[in-house]
Structure 1
């Protein structure tokens, strides 16, 4: 890192989004000088942070993998260590590691209008030394949640519990849960991943939920991958990726268009695996599918753990903790050696950094999203925020491609800066993620930007529309 140099791009974060950005810059804007600022000691982001049992993708890897570095595996869903290994190979392939400054955190960015440059304030996590570098563009790939700690509600008398009470974000691989009684609080993607994974070694795992989540099972391997690979590896990858994208988009639109029929279909498939009474009580949500994210499990693993009496689900609220476990509102006591609060994330914009324009602080909630990648009146700044209804990386790759197109266009025309300007006739009617009712989104609704009522100021949540807009739009 050279404070005397003017970089073309500062990329914040060396997770999957940051690696996407760096690989796109090297491929489509090879003359651009960039640096990656990473808060942690290694690459990977989410896949370096989370270590809890069973950690895996919740989207298929042919769309979650990087477009410029195809996922080589056969699994539909991949475990965390495999994804981390894949990202390390991508970094090696594109020689990105030499451009990464580890253990450094972007505290603030301040746009200087006279120079058309970002002054990027960076803190070294070990020495606490603060210094500045300058850049023409900043691309935030810091993710969407707080890394330091997850969302852990206050539970009455939790201090009385004699066992281990932990959030998945704090999980340490040295924790021994063999033959232990485990309680998992929550019903989202993390909870339904933890339960079957821990059931393999634990004595019993109990999932306690206030309300159910829609769950769909998918085969963990592609049936026809072997035959497709005989034609060519590249054809196999492109074919599976393309069909998965179409299936994701088609299923989402059909479910939102026919919510009642879709609800019945999803529940009928679960009833093929578990008793109707159990499904009605514990696996039937009180909202329609995709009002919250649909949870995917591989090969019915959660349902198998329940059928094998290694796991159970209780739908109730927690009244308080006691020395040996939990007391529910119904009065039932649940004994536990370990309680895991799989209660969600704390959402955070840009890794918590401040944005200033000529020393004036900007509130992102007062801005309007442009192509879901930029913000009104903020120059030369992009942010990657993936899809809620599809693989995160699909949007990350599109944002990275848009950045390279923008840089190349501005260089060709000798432009120094660009910023989205809101049309005077546009109505600001919606919040950014107004369609989704998940608790972690609702808790943070006040930090998100707004969206408009027409393109390109609308958060489409539609990869196909966005693909044409980014690759062929103005």
Structure 2
């Protein structure tokens, strides 16, 4: 057993095991945010950030398909403490460059350990700490650390196993089948006929990009998604920059503008879904060819924002349809043929390359095996505490952002809450904090991780059975809107009896 490189302030322990006060798992948007807050709020504490990938960025590092970009504006997807100075919608490379700046400007590089995959975490009440098992990817070494507090910021993608349906006849298809999560760097689609199966954010992102080189691209969808086509650069940002407004002011003004827009969309989706549907559909109609069947190809089966609205900056997907480089087929897949795909109507769509933009699978807390005092943690039988901790699991927080709003809006709120919790433990002289159901919570109704009436994306519904539950009252709920949580989380009572300090 060997130790990892020593994190700043880390203490060597017996047997060569390294100890840090706080261990962060994941060096994507969430983990970098956690590291920033820890360094700012607790300069005297040691911490380390472990990531299984070869570099920073999480999905922005692993997703390398053509055209990969944000589907949220960067004024809210970026951190509140770091002004975003680029266009509202940004490419993956631009987001990685932004994260690099955050790491460099805040001295975080020395805390991050790449190619360190956490495989198991064992809590000991006797020792008041976690023992974490790690596999080092470049050498295969088995490493071990201990920590007083574990902060899971690993995201929710299963990077190793994307969602890949199987259809009859795939084996006889003479072309290439590729999933966006496993995009080959040497894939040549120039001058070829490409079929993209899917209609979500990934499909609407990569289709305009590959249509520039492909002979033709067909978007084959079983059911449509909702789209919104904002400008890549917000008009207000252009005006403010022309007036030479400081970037910090521009960042905050645009951040508030986009937050206000998200809140309006969220309220409309619940209070007036038919009006929001009409707004979204009619905003697309003038961007498409005259006579295009908008009702057939762009009317989803669900109400607005039961699934995420796909962003199409400057309407680039619709422009490709207008120009004849992209066509849309709404139908079921009957089978793959040697030369393409036969759909339910009997039509055969010719293809040299098929891209299965069929989504991903969720990964529960990085698939880490958790035990508490020797007992495996059965997460589907547990309940969340404010979407930040898990009942009965000591000294462990997790980071999960928003589905409808920008992910990072919640990440910032959760970092504040976790740091406040660490300060509360310090003030109480407590070594342990455990979310615990109170007497008044006895018999509380348990609800699924996500209510399908609220949010029913395929990757969520496919994974409900592996996920923890929520209750019917605070603080055992999650999946709230940002408009609610920006008031609730900063004012959350950490002494209401739902957290037991020892």
TM-score relative to the length of structure 2:
0.91
Q: Which moved more, 1:275-284 or 1:94-103?
A: 275-284
Matched, 1:187 2:182: no
8 Å contact kept, 1:216–1:295: yes
Q: Whole-Å Cα distance in 1 between the matches of residues 69 and 28 of structure 2?
A: 15
Pick the aligned partner of 2:28 from 15, 36, 40.
15
8 Å contact kept, 2:226–2:298: yes
The 5 A counterparts of 1:419-438 are: 419-426=434-441, 427-434=444-451, 435-438=454-457
The 5 A counterparts of 1:326-341 are: 326-341=341-356
SS of match in other structure, 2:139: coil
Pick the aligned partner of 2:71 from 44, 47, 58.
58
1:6-54: per-residue Cα shift (whole Å, max 9, x none)? 2111110111110000001111222221101110111111000001011
1:57-108: per-residue Cα shift (whole Å, max 9, x none)? 01010000122222221x1110111111111111111121111111110001
Q: Whole-Å Cα distance in 1 between the matches of residues 387 and 353 of structure 2?
A: 40
1:228: which partner in 2?
Answer: 240
2:499: which partner in 1?
Answer: none
Pick the aligned partner of 2:423 from 372, 396, 408.
408
Pick the aligned partner of 1:456 from 453, 466, 475.
475
Pick the aligned partner of 2:459 from 423, 436, 440.
440
8 Å contact kept, 1:368–1:452: yes
The verdict on how the C-alpha distance between 1:276 and 1:252 changes in structure 2, with shifts beyond 3 A counting, is farther
SS of match in other structure, 1:300: helix
Matched, 1:350 2:365: yes
1:205-244: per-residue Cα shift (whole Å, max 9, x none)? 1010111111111111121224424232211111111221
Q: Whole-Å Cα distance in 2 between the matches of residues 394 and 217 of structure 1?
A: 21
2:496: which partner in 1?
Answer: none
The 5 A counterparts of 1:31-46 are: 31-46=44-59
SS of match in other structure, 1:7: strand
**Greater RCO, 1 or 2 (C-alpha within 8 Å, sep 6+):** 1
Pick the aligned partner of 1:252 from 266, 288, 303.
266
Matched, 1:377 2:392: yes
Deviation at 1:337, TM superposition (A): 1.3
Pick the aligned partner of 2:230 from 212, 218, 243.
218
Deviation at 1:276, TM superposition (A): 5.5
Q: Which moved more, 1:91-100 or 1:353-362?
A: 91-100
8 Å contact kept, 1:158–1:322: yes
2:9: which partner in 1?
Answer: none
Q: Which moved more, 1:19-28 or 1:125-134?
A: 125-134
Matched, 1:302 2:321: no
Deviation at 1:460, TM superposition (A): 4.2
Q: Which moved more, 1:445-454 or 1:123-132?
A: 123-132
Q: Whole-Å Cα distance in 2 between the matches of residues 154 and 129 of structure 1?
A: 36
8 Å contact kept, 1:460–1:466: no
Q: Whole-Å Cα distance in 2 between the matches of residues 109 and 440 of structure 1?
A: 26
1:250-297: per-residue Cα shift (whole Å, max 9, x none)? 211122211111111211112222245510111111221111111111
2:406: which partner in 1?
Answer: 391
Pick the aligned partner of 2:153 from 123, 134, 141.
141
Q: Whole-Å Cα distance in 1 between the matches of residues 484 and 273 of structure 2?
A: 22
Structure 1 segments unaligned to the other structure (5+ residues): none
Q: Whole-Å Cα distance in 2 between the matches of residues 101 and 292 of structure 1?
A: 35
2:133: which partner in 1?
Answer: 121
Deviation at 1:334, TM superposition (A): 1.1
SS of match in other structure, 1:425: helix
Q: Whole-Å Cα distance in 2 between the matches of residues 193 and 373 of structure 1?
A: 31
SS of match in other structure, 1:356: strand
Deviation at 1:370, TM superposition (A): 0.9
TM-score relative to the length of structure 1:
0.97
Matched, 1:68 2:81: yes
8 Å contact kept, 2:470–2:477: yes
The verdict on how the C-alpha distance between 1:120 and 1:224 changes in structure 2, with shifts beyond 3 A counting, is same
Q: Whole-Å Cα distance in 2 between the matches of residues 70 and 25 of structure 1?
A: 20
Q: Flag as ranges the 4+ runs of structure 1 deviating above 6 A.
A: none
2:278: which partner in 1?
Answer: 264
What is the root-mean-square deviation of aligned Cα atoms in Å?
1.4
1:394-433: per-residue Cα shift (whole Å, max 9, x none)? 1112222222111122112211010111233332342121
8 Å contact kept, 2:236–2:254: no
SS of match in other structure, 2:478: coil
Deviation at 1:179, TM superposition (A): 1.5
8 Å contact kept, 1:388–1:461: no
SS of match in other structure, 1:218: coil
SS of match in other structure, 1:299: helix
8 Å contact kept, 2:50–2:116: yes
Matched, 1:48 2:61: yes
Q: Which moved more, 1:449-458 or 1:100-109?
A: 449-458
Pick the aligned partner of 1:201 from 200, 208, 213.
213
Deviation at 1:364, TM superposition (A): 1.4
Q: Whole-Å Cα distance in 1 between the matches of residues 446 and 425 of structure 2?
A: 32
2:486: which partner in 1?
Answer: 467
Q: How many residues in Structure 1 have an aligned counterpart in Structure 2? A: 473
Q: Whole-Å Cα distance in 1 between the matches of residues 62 and 262 of structure 2?
A: 27
